[in-house]
Amino acid sequence: MRTSGTARILARLLVGLRVVAVIIALAVLVQVLRGEPLALDRLFSSPPSIGSVITTSATDQEQSGPLGRRELRFKLQELVAHDTMLAIRFMRSTIADDPAFVDAANAVLVRSADDVELALARALPAEDASAFADGWAEYTQGLFAYATALRDDDDAAREQAREQLTASAAEQATLLSEITDGSIEEDVAATSLEMRGDLLLYQLDAYAGEDYDQAYELAHEAYGHSAAFAATLAAGATGHDPHAVDVSAKEELRAELARVLGEHVELSTDTLRAGVTGSDDFSAAAGALDGNTRELSDIMASALGGKRARKPIKLWSEHVDQLLRYAIAVADQDAATRRELRDGLRATSERIGRQLEKATDHEINAIAVTEALRSQQLLQLDQIDAYARGDYASAHDTASTAHHRAAGLAKTLASGFMTIVRTRMPQGGADTGGGGTASTP
Amino acid sequence: MSRVGGRTVHLVAALLLLALGGCAPVTDVADRAHGSLVRYFDDYARDRSPVADEVPDSVRDFRPQTKPSSTPRPTRIEIPSIEVASDLDLLDLADDGAIEPPPQWETAGWYRRGARPGQRGPAVILGHVDSTTGPAVFFRLDELDKGDEIHVVREDGSTARFTVRRSERYRKARFPTGEVYSPTPHPTLRLVTCTGEFDQEAGSYRDNLVVFADLIQ
């Protein structure tokens, strides 16, 4: 009986091993078919470090309780800023007459409006959040109408679309004031929404006129504006006067890092795509990415001091360079270089983690930074692979996930940086008087 | 055996979907992963890759910048509305962790460990309100109003122009270190001097006056 039982267990084990072998073979086959270098670690790593098709962050999906002003601000900043970049790509691909890309961009924009609704519903009644998201989605369709008119060189339709967008922004402003019980003044909301719309339209005009530097500069402004709009929206949705919110230095630093790191993902995405397609806007995209690195460098230097920030920033530039060279290897169909760069990027993310740990006197954990950055890198590689094979839906989804991951990295860095900021600060007031000539009670 | 075979087929199918979908949890993405499976082979059939036949040299030759932006050091401060014009000494931290006072009554000082004027973050300039014998460089700092301009000349001859946002008086014992020295998302300037009652016994003022200003150019 005992022997027979053992034999049964062994037989099951053998079956199990065969199953595992079949799974590995199939997974390898899938990677080969997808034109990716073989990387078994991708098959067995834990989900958070792998490019997934989930568009919202896992933590957000797990948590659906009410959000306070500060956390809602970060969540909305993440979503609205990304939505702005999606809208920009959506409009640009419309004038480029690339229906497959437009279709995929539209799908991800619809989900983006859903995500904004879900976030707002954590502070506002569900019907109010839904009404806002409906208006938001309607506005996006107005942007599409404008882009279509521009593509077709139809001035009358373009003017009509512009008027429609102005009316839509005004309606949205009225709604915002109503659903926040006046915390957000209608005038303030209208001005902010009009500015967003203008920036989106002007960047498209510049892009259509092949003034790519201007188009990317205006897109950068639109991205920054969306972060500010998110802060206003979060304050209003949680019953605060947006002008009277007492924002701590730590919150401001985290918001800044989230903005810059999120834009890094967006600009990397644009630059890599422009690189593999050889688009005329490559230099402008790459220049904007350089500007983003400078911003990150300035934030780090401001928080840590120039000397401490130097090495992490140098490594950050190396990581950007490796991403770009990976895109070139994709275009060249050079599997060996791609494999080499995947390894190189892993090593660079580890070095960045170690340098940041050192620069912050171990306030930042090297492994946490490495994991966060590595996850972002893998998603970025996955998105360019998907884009290069024309799988725009996966490319959009993966790029979206990469953007949302940047928010987590920003939180980690802000916390560590602030500790160093505090230790570097002078203590107490200044002794800047000598004799009492200026003395007053 | 057929039961095991059935389970195997399901398991293999699920894990295949998992690999295609990027290893997200099966329960979350099963439907979408199935969609991506279909889409994946469709895409191959369509062969709509946007990749260029030849990567342009402008792409191959591009190298990301590695140098941080640089802002020249400040050399002089001018505040027209209160007739201040002073060179700037360099200030560091004293042994007790407090900021060093400027060594000369008539010359203001820039805190060298903080931001440079015009660089992201708070630049801090200190000046004495008086000397042992009379008024000093920042004697009239309390006359500054919102909107007044402050000019900081830098070593390359450029000028960073700031506008006063507000002035606050603080007890030295409760000096808001974080508010004055914490990072700011834009270039800012803080002017610091003494104010309030002079404590004869301690030989110093009890309060500090801080002027908060923002870059306008």
User: Considering only CA atoms, which of A238, A208, A266, A217 is closest in space to residue A401?
Assistant: A266
Confidence of residue A196 (pLDDT cuts 50, 70, 90): very high
Radius of gyration of chain B (CA): 31
Q: Which chain B residues are within 8 Å of A394, Cβ to Cβ?
A: 36, 39
Q: Which residue of B has its CA nearest to A256?
A: B185
**Chain A residue at shortest CA distance from B93:** A426
Say whether residue A247 is in contact with chain B using an 8 A CB cutoff. Answer: no
If phi over 0 gives left and psi between -120 and 50 gives alpha, with beta otherwise, what is residue A181?
Answer: left
Confidence of residue B27 (pLDDT cuts 50, 70, 90): very low
Give the nearest chain B residue to A431 (CA atoms): B101
Asked if B26 is an interface residue toward chain A (Cβ–Cβ < 8 A), one would say: no
Judged by a CB distance cut-off of 8 A, whether residue B191 touches chain A is no
Assigned domain for A133 exists? yes
Residue A238 sits in the same domain as residue A259 = no
pLDDT for A395-414, tens place per residue?
Answer: 999 999 999 999 999 999 99
Query: What's the mean pLDDT in B184-196?
Result: 95
Candidates A432, A439, A440, partner chain B, best to mutate (most B CBs within 10 A):
A432
Shared domain for A104 and A166, answered yes or no, is: yes
User: pTM here?
Assistant: 0.81
Distance CA(A151)–CA(A149), nearest Å, equals 5
Domain at B74-215: CATH code: 2.40.260.10
Q: Across the interface, do A438 and B194 touch by the CB < 8 Å criterion?
A: yes
A221 and A356 housed in the same domain: no
Measured in whole angstroms, how far is the alpha carbon of residue A37 from the centre of its chain? 26
- Cα–Cα distances in angstroms (integers) from residue A210 to residues A88, A203, B153, in the given order: 15, 10, 39
**What is chain B's mean pLDDT, rounded?**
82
Select the more confidently predicted residue: B200 or A413: A413
Q: Choose from A103-107, A229-233, B177-181 the range with maximum mean pLDDT.
A: A229-233
**In a shared domain, residues A372 and A328:** yes
CB A433 within 8 A of CB B129: yes
What integer pLDDT is reported at residue A296 of this predicted model?
95
Range of the domain at A235: 69-247
Q: Residue B167: helix, strand or coil by DSSP?
A: strand
Predicted confidence (pLDDT) per residue in A3-37, tens digit: 456 566 666 666 656 655 655 565 555 554 544 44
Given this model, what pLDDT does residue B7 score? Answer: 40
CA distance A307 to chain B (A): 11
Mean pLDDT, to the nearest integer, of A267-293? Answer: 96
Residues A296 and A234 in one domain: no
| Residues of A with Cβ-Cβ distance to B68 under 8 angstroms | 294, 297-298, 301, 306, 309-310, 313
- Residue A18 is predicted with a pLDDT of 67
Chain B residues inside the 8 Å CB shell of A276: 50-52, 55
Banded pLDDT at B1 (limits 50, 70, 90): very low
Does residue A434 or residue B154 have the better pLDDT?
B154
Burial of residue A45 (CB within 10 Å: 0-12, 13-18, 19+) is middle
- Residue B201's pLDDT is 87
Domains identified in chain A, total number:
3
CA distance B110 to A422: 19
Same domain, A216 and A82: yes
Where would I find the H helices in A209-305?
212-237, 249-277, 282-304
Of the candidate ranges A222-226, A242-246, A369-373, the one whose mean pLDDT is the lowest = A242-246
Nearest CB partner across the interface for A430, out of B20, B179, B192: B192
In a shared domain, residues A362 and A213: no
> CA geometry: angle at B150 spanning B146 and B155, to 5°?
160
Q: Are strands B74-79 and B149-154 parallel, antiparallel or unpaired?
A: antiparallel
**What are the backbone dihedrals phi and psi of residue A39, each rounded to the nearest 5 degrees, phi first?**
-145, 95
Residue A331: predicted pLDDT: 93
Residue B124: exposed, middle, or buried by beta-carbon count in 10 A (0-12, 13-18, 19+)? Answer: buried
**pLDDT score for B40:** 41
How much is the pLDDT for A49?
Answer: 30
Cβ(B150)–Cβ(B162) below 8 Å: yes
The better pLDDT of the pair B11, A271 is held by A271
A307 touches chain B (CB under 8 A): no
Is A51 within a domain? Answer: no
ipTM value:
0.76
Query: Which residues of chain A from 208 to 227 reach within 8 Å of chain B, CB to CB?
Result: none
In B111-140, the residues whose Cβ lies within 8 Å of chain A are 111, 113, 115, 119-121, 126-136, 138-139
Q: How many residues does chain A have?
A: 441
Which residues in chain A are closer than 8 Å to B184, comparing Cβ atoms?
A: 249, 252
The C-alpha angle A304, B149, B120, rounded to 5 degrees, equals 15
- Measured between alpha carbons, how far is A109 from A131 in angstroms, rounded to an integer? 16
The pLDDT value given to residue B200: 87
Name the residue among A302, A332, A417 with its Cβ closest to that of B120: A302
Same domain, A126 and A215: yes
- Note whether B131 contacts A435, CB cutoff 8 Å: yes
pLDDT confidence of residue A26: 58
A381 by DSSP, 3-state: which?
A: helix
How many Cβ contacts (< 8 angstroms) between chains A and B? 271
In tens, the pLDDT along A319-332 reads 999 999 999 999 99
Within 37-96 of B, beta carbons closer than 8 Å to A belong to: 39-40, 43-44, 46-52, 54-56, 58-60, 62-66, 68-69, 93, 96
Q: In whole angstroms, give the CA distance from residue B198 to residue A15.
A: 89
Closest alpha carbon within chain A to B4: A15
Instruction: Give A19 or A44, the one with higher predicted confidence.
Output: A19
Q: What is the pLDDT of residue A436?
A: 72
What's the confidence (pLDDT) of residue A398? 96
Element (H, E) at B180: helix B177-181
Same domain, A229 and A270: no
Q: Is the pLDDT of residue B12 over 50?
A: no
> Which among B144, B80, B88 is positioned nearest to B117, based on CA atoms?
B88
Residues of B in contact with A293 (CB under 8 A): 64-65
Q: Give the least confident one: A12-26, A140-154, B33-47.
A: B33-47
CA dist., res. A382 & res. A387, Å (int):
8
High-pLDDT (> 90) share of chain B, %:
66
Q: Does B143 touch chain A (CB under 8 A)?
A: no
Tell me: do A173 and A300 sit in the same domain. no
Are residue A238 and residue A271 in the same domain, yes or no? no
Q: How confident is the model at residue B90 (pLDDT cuts 50, 70, 90)?
A: very high
A302 in contact with chain B, both atoms CB, cutoff 8 A: yes
**Alpha carbons A397 and A54: distance in angstroms, whole number:** 7
Read off the pLDDT of residues A49-81 as tens digits, 9 standing for 90 and up. Answer: 323 322 334 344 445 789 999 999 999 999 999
Residue ranges covered by each domain of chain B? 2-60, 74-215
One domain, residues A37 and A174: no
Q: Is the pLDDT of residue A142 over 80?
A: yes
